[in-house]
Amino acid sequence: MTEKTAYNVAVVGATGAVGQKIMKILEEKDFPINQLKLLSSKNSAGKELSFAGKKIVVEEAKPESFEEIDIALFSAGGSVSKQLAPEAVKRGAVVVDNTSAYRMDENVPLVVPEVNNEDIKKHNGIIANPNCSTIQMVAGLKPIKDNFGLSRVIVSTYQAVSGAGVKAVNELEEQSRQFLNNEEMEANLLPVKGDKKHYPIAFNALPQIDVFQENGYTFEEMKMINETKKIMHAPELPVAATCVRLPFFTSHAESVYIEVDDDGVTVEDIWKVLKTADGVILQDDPTTQTYPTPLSASNKEEVFIGRVRKDLDNNKGFHLWIVSDNLLKGAAWNTVQIAQSLIKNNWL
């Protein structure tokens, strides 16, 4: 049998914040596409989107949409993935799913290619893309764990509104305008669309991302905790997370405290390892005020790390500042990287 050189690809959620970025990256990376199918809910069906100089009409996602599709990239929310990813697999597609629907399923690999690429080959039709906040953190922690061991992680996030979708971006714009015009801010969406209360995000900070769980953590925090252990193959690793939404558009930032296993590790040792880590860029020089920010990391593929400091009380403790574009490495770019790896390694 001759091997394929171009693939039929479906983007599910093509009109959304993540879907739009996926299309941009497929085009920029010259992904080997034979036919591209763009799928959405029936609200956007019929709309035209441009890809590689051509117009493509968006179709409503249905089980039959996946006939003849080789690779389906899903980012239309968990309920759509639960309903349609098995239909795509049944029809012979391999699914890369950007939602939390399958991330903790033991039959589904959860992958950040720089961290656990080999896990992809164990797939049974679905590979899960982790949560954006998890992706950027594990990209920084994996090389540290490999070199010095890792015995604790405590993270606080500073997350951009685009993580909550196109409507949240619009809400921040509108509330900012209202605040600066001395009008009352209208809050209809954040922190969580379906929750009982909504608070303004403009000029504010919301310590709730996704819904509360019975243990007092939010679902976003539990995603970070559980996904980190799974991706790093470290079920016993203690991880704690506090996730906070802030009023900027793109890129999540994280203050991460870690404890390593080895004695006598220095900041220079950590720098050395991060300088050569795949997909990571070290930006750390207090003498020149060099460190990453959400603005400097936006529209870039890499994970940026700065402010590496030794804890003043714990000889094995270190603090790091990790920043990355939540829609690129945190979602679309990681998804496309998984698809590229499927092809390159013949794991489709």
CB distance 237 to 231 below 8 Å = no
Q: Does 16 bind ligand NAP (CB under 6 A)?
A: yes
CB distance 330 to 133 below 8 Å = yes
Q: What's the rounded Cα separation, in Å, for the pair 334 and 111? A: 8
Q: Does 332 bind ligand NAP (CB under 6 A)?
A: no
Question: Which is it for the CA torsion 325, 22, 276, 243, positive or negative?
Answer: positive
Q: Does 303 bind ligand 3JN (CB under 6 A)?
A: no
Beta strands (DSSP E) in the chain are 7-12, 33-40, 48-51, 54-57, 59-60, 71-74, 94-97, 126-128, 152-159, 239-245, 252-259, 280-282, 303-310, 317-324
Nearest to 215 by CA among 241, 191, 189: 241
State the Cα angle at 218 between 335 and 303, rounded to 5°: 35
* Active-site residue, 132 included: yes
Nearer to ligand NAP, 171 or 284 (CB): 171
Which of these ranges, 72-80, 111-119, 144-152, 259-267, lies near ligand NAP under the rule CB under 6 A? 72-80
Residue number of the CB closest to ligand NAP reads 16
Q: Does 99 bind ligand 3JN (CB under 6 A)?
A: yes
CA 135 to the chain's CA centroid? 6
Q: Does 209 bind ligand 3JN (CB under 6 A)?
A: yes
Q: Does 100 bind ligand 3JN (CB under 6 A)?
A: yes
* Binding partner selected for residue 125 from ligand NAP, ligand 3JN, none, CB under the kind-specific 5 to 8 Å limit: none
Paired tokens of 237: 């690793």
Q: Does 136 bind ligand NAP (CB under 6 A)?
A: no
C-alpha dist (Å) from residue 122 to 109, 118, 125, 192, 228: 7, 8, 9, 34, 19
Residue number of the CB closest to ligand 3JN reads 163
Q: What's the rounded Cα separation, in Å, for the pair 169 and 161? A: 6
* Binding partner selected for residue 43 from ligand NAP, ligand 3JN, none, CB under the kind-specific 5 to 8 Å limit: ligand NAP
The site string for ligand NAP over 194-223 (x = CB under 6 A, - otherwise) reads: ------------------------------
Q: Does 191 bind ligand NAP (CB under 6 A)?
A: no
Active site residues: 132, 252
**Site for ligand 3JN, rule CB under 6 A:** 77-78, 99-100, 131-132, 159, 163-164, 209, 223, 326
Q: Which residues of the chain form contacts with ligand NAP (CB under 6 A)? A: 13-19, 40-41, 43-44, 61, 75-78, 80, 98-99, 129, 131-132, 163, 165-166, 330-331
